[in-house]
Amino acid sequence: MDPPSMWRATTVQACGLWPFAAGSGAPMTGVPLGQHLHTGATVCGDPISWFTRARYISNPSLFMLGMPGLGKSTLVNRMLIGMTATGVVPLVLGDLKPDYADTVRALGGQVISIGRGVGGINVLDPGAMGEAAERIGGEAGRVLLAEAHGRVLNMVAALITIMRGRPMDDHEQSVLSACLHHLRERSTPGRPPLLPDLLRVLDEGPDRVRAVTLDRGDQQRYRKAVDPLHRSLIGVLDGPLGDTFASETSTRINPNAPAVCVDISRIGEADTQLTAAAMLAAWSDGLGTVAAAHALADAGLAPQRWFFTVLDELWRPLRAASGIVERIDALTRLNRSLGLGDAKITHTLKDAEALGNEADRAKARGFVERAGMVVCAGLPRTEMEDLGRVIGMSQREIELVSSWSSPPGWANPEASSEPPGRGRFLIKVGGRPGIPIKVAITETERNLHNTNTRWAGKDLPQPRSGEHR
């Protein structure tokens, strides 16, 4: 909705409206989110509309924090539905519960399942970027192919980082890059190389790879330089990640779908390495698809489209290994130049503070600092005070959001009571005062999005006769 026209009047002409009971009106550009908590006015907004149309923010990104069960994914689902109606393509890259798969299906989109025995991703496959580079050809095609090479290198390095629990060494990345170049030049058109092919290149030691290791013709020097990398790749193939990343991609992302969800909910909660690797692979593949779509549009081979990615449960890959935050930063930093909006969702800033070293913590805090919109659901007071030092919050705002983190009362166990903060959010943009909203979901949204489906139904345990409830 466009905002209504604004009119000026003197206090004599508009005496019944003076003094004003409230300040400026609520924003009316973007997806209708809910009602202003104090005035009841409708509040609209989403990162793409506020960046392109209203120009409220300088970066089309959203960072959302809040305790579990207070409605974070419900609000994001509403944004997805609203933005799809304006032609924006939502990409949910790693749905863990799943929170978004049913919504994407209802929108006529594509749902891809990833997990052991369900589906996998070939991290050496340039995917949509490779196909687009071949269609475009010329200098633009070569540039896109070089970018695809960088994304593949970043993803393989991320897998090795997860396996080791620490970042790769600089010279190992150079060796890995030379191996990938060698594979690309010798791979059969239409058949992307696999991780076992990468192992064979390391084992054979072609001249291009040896030149990077500075072995000077000495086989022992070569083996000393590449053996740690060789062992790590064997660990990836024979370890917990091998089944999912060692074979061809089971289902590629359809760049023409109205919405896409990569569902990784079948990976077990305790399988932290595979979860983090699957999320990063989905992000890499999805963002590569976005880059390919824009390259095709620039070449006049496809219509221009805007995309919106959802990176939920951000804390999971962050904690997988030291250095992973750098890989996430490399994948997501250029969203504005890509015509891409994004939502990053996590629980608290403590997720960033739990990282292993100060460099990683600073990069993780940068996700919040760079976000155009910061949305807070209920958070403890200490967490709000920490957040206030990052984005600037008044004492009243801190107290308001802290009050939403209280649990429901004990009084009436028969009633379907819910936490007082459920559906309540504070939207912060730069130094502006926050906008507190209350989200009331429709019956359709309730049916599409229920994170407690395992607890629904008539077969829940009931007290036996004579027992207290």
Helix-then-strand count for the chain, H and E: 18, 11
Whether pTM exceeds 0.85: no
Question: pLDDT over 90 for what percent of the chain?
Answer: 40
Q: How far apart are CA 185 and CA 179, in angstroms?
A: 10
Identify the pLDDT of residue 449: 67
Identify the pLDDT of residue 20: 54
Q: Is the pLDDT assigned to residue 10 strictly greater than 70?
A: yes
Q: How far apart are CA 460 and CA 469, in angstroms?
A: 13
Identify the pLDDT of residue 246: 82
Q: Sorting pLDDT into bands at 50, 70 and 90, what band is 261?
A: very high
Q: Is the pLDDT assigned to residue 416 strictly greater than 60?
A: no
Stretch among 193-207, 232-246, 401-415 having the lowest mean pLDDT: 401-415
Stretch among 250-254, 312-316, 351-355, 426-430 having the lowest mean pLDDT: 351-355
Each residue of 267-286: pLDDT tens digit?
877 788 888 888 888 888 98
Cβ(294)–Cβ(273) below 8 Å: no
Identify the pLDDT of residue 468: 46
Which of the two residues, 64 and 238, has the higher pLDDT score? 64
Stretch among 11-20, 74-83, 118-127, 271-280 having the lowest mean pLDDT: 11-20
- Count of residues in the chain: 469
Which single residue is written with the structure tokens 């996590």?
Answer: 346
Identify the pLDDT of residue 409: 65
Each residue of 49-58: pLDDT tens digit?
999 999 999 8
Identify the pLDDT of residue 51: 92
Alpha helices in 169-218 (DSSP H): 170-186, 195-204, 207-213
Average model confidence (pLDDT) for the chain? 84
Q: Sorting pLDDT into bands at 50, 70 and 90, what band is 222?
A: very high
Tell me what the mean pLDDT of segment 204-224 comes to: 91
Q: Is the pLDDT assigned to residue 459 strictly greater than 80?
A: no
Which of the two residues, 330 and 292, has the higher pLDDT score? 292
Each residue of 329-373: pLDDT tens digit?
765 555 555 678 889 888 887 766 666 677 777 777 778 888 889
Cβ(312)–Cβ(95) below 8 Å: yes
Q: Is the pLDDT assigned to residue 22 strictly greater than 70?
A: no
Identify the pLDDT of residue 425: 96
Q: Is the pLDDT assigned to residue 149 strictly greater than 50?
A: yes
Q: How far apart are CA 230 and CA 199, in angstroms?
A: 7
Which of the two residues, 468 and 241, has the higher pLDDT score? 241
Q: Is the pLDDT assigned to residue 460 strictly greater than 70?
A: no
End-to-end CA distance of the chain: 49
Q: Sorting pLDDT into bands at 50, 70 and 90, what band is 457?
A: low
SS3 373: strand
The 10 Å Cβ neighbour count of residue 450 is 14
Stretch among 149-163, 317-331, 389-403 having the lowest mean pLDDT: 317-331
Identify the pLDDT of residue 356: 64
Tell me what the mean pLDDT of segment 112-135 comes to: 90
Stretch among 115-129, 242-256, 301-315, 449-463 having the lowest mean pLDDT: 449-463
Which of the two residues, 436 and 367, has the higher pLDDT score? 436
Stretch among 318-327, 358-367, 458-467 having the lowest mean pLDDT: 458-467
Q: Sorting pLDDT into bands at 50, 70 and 90, what band is 452?
A: low
Q: Sorting pLDDT into bands at 50, 70 and 90, what band is 220?
A: very high
Buried b (16+ CB within 10 A) or exposed e, 102-116: bbbeebebbbbbbbb
Identify the pLDDT of residue 331: 58
